[in-house]
Amino acid sequence: MKNLKILTHFTLLVSLLISCSIKAQNSTINIKKTDIMDTKNQEIVNVALMYIKDGEESRFEKYKKKGGAILEKYGGKIERIIKPTMLAEGEMEMPDEIHFASYPSIEAFNQFNEDPEFIKIRNEYAIPALKDISIFTSKNTNFEFKKEVGDTSKTYGVALIYFNEGEKYIKQFEDYHDEVCAIMPEFGTHFERFIAPFQSKGNIERPDEIHRFYFDSMEGLQQMGTDERMQALFPKRDASLKNLYFFIGEASL
């Protein structure tokens, strides 16, 4: 019963955690693949949900090490690796790892993926080690927020967000946006990334936005879920989302 109660708190909190991105949604909800031209000279963040074959963990670790070294040649880096421990919302097979890799530009992103040495490493290590992968190539939203950087001691949340179509849903978020964002810092919630995918590969539908955040403590997260002010906001958001996948996990990087 205790675990069920915690899971319920996670589920209730998800939409509130993501609602602080509303000021960015006007420009990102309907992003299409053709918007790739708008990413010139902008930072690119690649998000990959990795499903590793049993017994191939060692091979995959070699891929991360060798591929990461080549990535740095192009000014990129693997900025965060989350290992999910719970799928708190949605229904899908939980990935073994979620990777966030950043690139200084779409040009650097393309050059890296076309690098002959990287292609060789990918074919030798990644492809044999993975049973499945979904990739979302993303750009930053225009939402202004205080970006904070956690570490491997923190608990992380990753949300794949799918909005219902229609301006009324954006307005619905706006109605309580300021209230939510004023409350959450009291409970130690910190935001690292608000990004909008513009192209994808794999079986998982491309989300409208992906958010990454971390918590100072699980106790703070649970307390936020029972806060009366937060509880009063839950009904306002329920009809706004078409779908949502929310992972809780630990960072290995």
- Whether 5 has a pLDDT exceeding 50, the answer reads no
**H or E stretch including 63?**
helix 57-73
**H or E stretch including 243?**
strand 241-251
How far from chain centre, in Å, is Cα 19? 14
pLDDT digits (tens, 9 = 90+) for 42-93: 999 999 999 999 999 999 999 999 999 999 999 999 999 999 999 999 999 9
Query: Phi and psi for 135 in degrees, rounded to 5?
Result: -125, 135
Residue among 30, 27, 15, 31 at smallest CA distance from 173? 15
Alpha-helical (H) ranges within the chain are 2-18, 22-25, 57-73, 106-113, 116-121, 127-129, 167-183, 218-226, 228-237
Q: Please tell me the pTM assigned to this model.
A: 0.85
pLDDT digits (tens, 9 = 90+) for 200-249: 999 999 998 899 999 998 889 889 889 999 888 877 667 778 888 999 99
Looking at residue 41, its pLDDT comes to: 74
Domain extents in the chain: 7-251
Average pLDDT over residues 26-48: 63
The fold of the 7-251 domain, in CATH, is: Alpha-Beta Plaits (3.30.70)
**Residue 161 is encoded by which pair of tokens?**
């967000």
Average pLDDT over residues 156-181: 78
